[in-house]
Amino acid sequence: MRWRDVLRFAAGSLKGHGLRTALSLLGVMIGVSAVVILTALGEGARRYVIDQFAGLGTNLLIVMPGKTETSGSFGFGGVPNDLTLDDALAIEREIRSVHKVAPVTVGTEEVSTGDRRRQMPVFGTTRSYLEIRDLEMARGEFLPAEEMFRGGAELVLGSKAARELFGAADPIGEILRVGGWRFRVIGVLAEGGVNVGVNFDDIAIVPVRTGMRMLNRSSLFRVVAQVHAHSDLDIAKESILGLVTERHEEEDITILTQDAVVATFSQILDTLTLVVGAIAAISLSVAGIGIMNVMLVSVSERTREIGLLKAIGASGPQILAAFLTEATFISAAGGLLGLAVGWLAVALLVQLYPALPASPPLWAVAAAFGLSVAVGTVFGFLPARRATRLDPVTALSRR
């Protein structure tokens, strides 16, 4: 029995039971496409997060009030020192590797003009924030380039907020009420969308000193520091930590670098992608059980044919190869169909949601196809071995 005969034997069996073959292919196809789609979603989420943080810039340090550590004793009070405008000013003036500093305070207030009013996120910051975050203006200008303690009554609106409050009218120079405070609109941001959870199209930006008073904040939410060069990040981080620790007489701040944040998110999303891919791969084992059942039925139905092959000289390994070829063909063809369906589904998803750069990682594609072939071979071995153990005389005598 030559290899050509083995292939003809397997193909004839598959062709003779078209519905059964199609259902087996469908099971494998669903399993492989699920692996491709879910891993593509995980990879797309990872790329989306990395792109969002890359948009912040590459030379940034984020200073937050509070120390993220676990102590071994119970403390009294436990409230860290406030991160103040004086701290931000000291960082800007005393750390030579720091280029710009932008203190930030955030909150939500009711913004109104005439009979139009709505709740809106309010950012308090300085002009340096425009340059650090690389924001663009559509009309007017950003906050004045004055020292951070001035506390003016200027306000910059996001593009969506300007449309909803003023319609087609020009908002520059108009008066807005934020909470109980009056502000004059001096600029409108260009459309920037959502970046790291902040929708810059739907926001009001005011001077940081005014923002802290209006929102009743004693501590800044963040201090964003931009260093001169990426190689200065570690030196600047240690310098800022030492400076603020000296000012507060204790280490009560946390400093994040962009690289650390991206690495953490990337690690979390890589693990998530691996987990969802593994869960989807479980469906392949179900498809393998289906192939095994189909092959067992095939052996039972073809007992006389197997007996005839043995009677004319076909050996056990040749019978084994014939049935393994049949099982492997089902799993391999189902795997290829699953890859095609998965790619098409991912392409459709990207068309519907272009902001999500979903794409299946190559390791997932290779693993899904390899696993589908392996599942078919492994689960097809038991029926194939059963066929090799049939006695030719007994097999031929069965009806």
Quickly state the pLDDT bin for 157 (edges 50, 70, 90): very high
pLDDT of amino acid 73: 45
Angstrom CA distances, 199 to 51, 52, 116, 204, stand at 15, 12, 20, 10
Write the pLDDT tens digit of every residue in 210-247.
Answer: 999 999 988 999 999 988 887 888 889 999 999 999 99
pLDDT of amino acid 277: 74
Is the pLDDT at 78 greater than 60? The verdict is no
Mean pLDDT of 70-84: 59
Q: Percent of the chain at pLDDT above 70? A: 90
The pTM of this model reads 0.61
Written as one letter, the residue type at 168 is A
Tell which wins on pLDDT, 391 or 156: 156
The least confident of 69-78, 232-241, 357-366 is 69-78
pLDDT of amino acid 173: 92
- Classify residue 146 by its DSSP letter: S
Mean pLDDT of 82-98: 91
Tell which wins on pLDDT, 118 or 394: 118
Task: Look at residues 93, 83, 77, 99 and name the one whose alpha carbon lies nearest to residue 248.
Answer: 83
Write the pLDDT tens digit of every residue in 282-325.
Answer: 777 777 777 777 777 777 777 777 777 777 777 777 777 877 88
Q: What is the rounded CA–CA span in Å between residue 359 and residue 131?
A: 33
Task: Look at residues 29, 60, 24 and name the one whose alpha carbon lies nearest to residue 343.
Answer: 29
Mean pLDDT of 143-167: 86
Write the pLDDT tens digit of every residue in 20-53.
Answer: 778 877 888 888 888 888 888 888 888 887 777 7
Angstrom CA distances, 42 to 116, 270, 277, 291, stand at 41, 7, 9, 29
CB count in 10 Å sphere of residue 155: 25
Structure tokens at 6: 């083995």
Is the pLDDT at 327 greater than 60? The verdict is yes
Q: Percent of the chain at pLDDT above 90? A: 23
Helix segments in the chain, DSSP class H: 3-16, 18-54, 85-94, 128-132, 159-166, 208-214, 233-248, 258-301, 303-311, 316-352, 362-388, 392-397
Is the pLDDT at 74 greater than 60? The verdict is no
Task: Look at residues 127, 128, 146 and name the one whose alpha carbon lies nearest to residue 187.
Answer: 127
Is the pLDDT at 138 greater than 80? The verdict is yes
pLDDT of amino acid 223: 92
SS3 242: helix
Quickly state the pLDDT bin for 207 (edges 50, 70, 90): very high
pLDDT of amino acid 72: 46
Which positions ≥6 away from 156 have C-beta within 8 Å? 140, 142, 143, 185, 186, 187, 188, 189, 204, 205, 206
The least confident of 68-82, 269-283, 357-371 is 68-82
Is the pLDDT at 204 greater than 70? The verdict is yes
CA end-to-end distance (rounded Å), the chain:
25
The least confident of 50-59, 151-160, 190-199, 254-263 is 50-59
Angstrom CA distances, 371 to 47, 169, 271, 365, 391, stand at 26, 61, 20, 10, 33
